[in-house]
Homo-oligomer: A and B are copies of this chain.
Amino acid sequence: MASKKNGSPNLDATLEAFVYLYAESRRVTRAVAEQYGLTGSQLLVLKMLEPVSELSLSALSEGIRAKNSTVTGIIDRMERDGVVVRKRSDEDRRVVNLTLTAKGKKLAAAVKVDPMHLFRALLEDLPESDAAELERIMTHLARRVRDFIDESEAGGAKDLGSDPRLARLFATERGRTP
């Protein structure tokens, strides 16, 4: 059932499922965030700040994989809404630390969901052996991607799109049907 006759599993089905889950997770995250007057990114930031006392803007940028200037804007709006406050660090006065306000903490506690909670609920319904398999495979995939990206960036190729290794990875030498 999971394999095709010719012995190779149906990658397209896996990819399709992945794409679908990816698209739907965005929608759901957005819908949930909206209930609390937040955007998807803001919910993400809220949940990243919740467990820590404070976090620098750069650290946050890295966490949500966005540029500093993007995060500045997101934090501007969250500060305007009284959810978060900026505070200059005393150790290093270049650094801006972010903390949730009382309102922000209350909000974070009210949103009893991390962005991927729908999947968490579904994962918890999986047979245990499946969950174990999935964990093993997914973490393996993530590690491979991470290694690849790290390697790319260490090589100084800041523009991922023009990385020759990416081009190689993306080249359709296996001749998938067009």
Contact = CB atoms under 8 A, between A and B. Distances in A.
Interface of A is mostly: helix
A154 interface: no
Interface residues of A, number: 79
Contacts of A9: 128, 131-132, 134-135
A10 B116 CA distance: 15
Contacts of A169: 117-118, 121
Interface in A129-148: 130-142, 144-146
Interface stretch (A53-61, A75-83, A90-98, A156-164): A156-164
A172 B32 CA distance: 14
A15 B116 contact: yes
Interface string A40-80: 00000000001100000000000011000000000000000
Nearest to A22: B22
Interface of A: 1-3, 7-11, 13-25, 27-28, 30-35, 50-51, 64-65, 109, 112-126, 128, 130-142, 144-146, 149, 159-162, 166, 169-172, 174, 176, 178
Given A119-B141, A134-B137, 6 more contacts: A3-B128, A11-B120, A20-B142, A120-B176, A126-B140, A133-B137
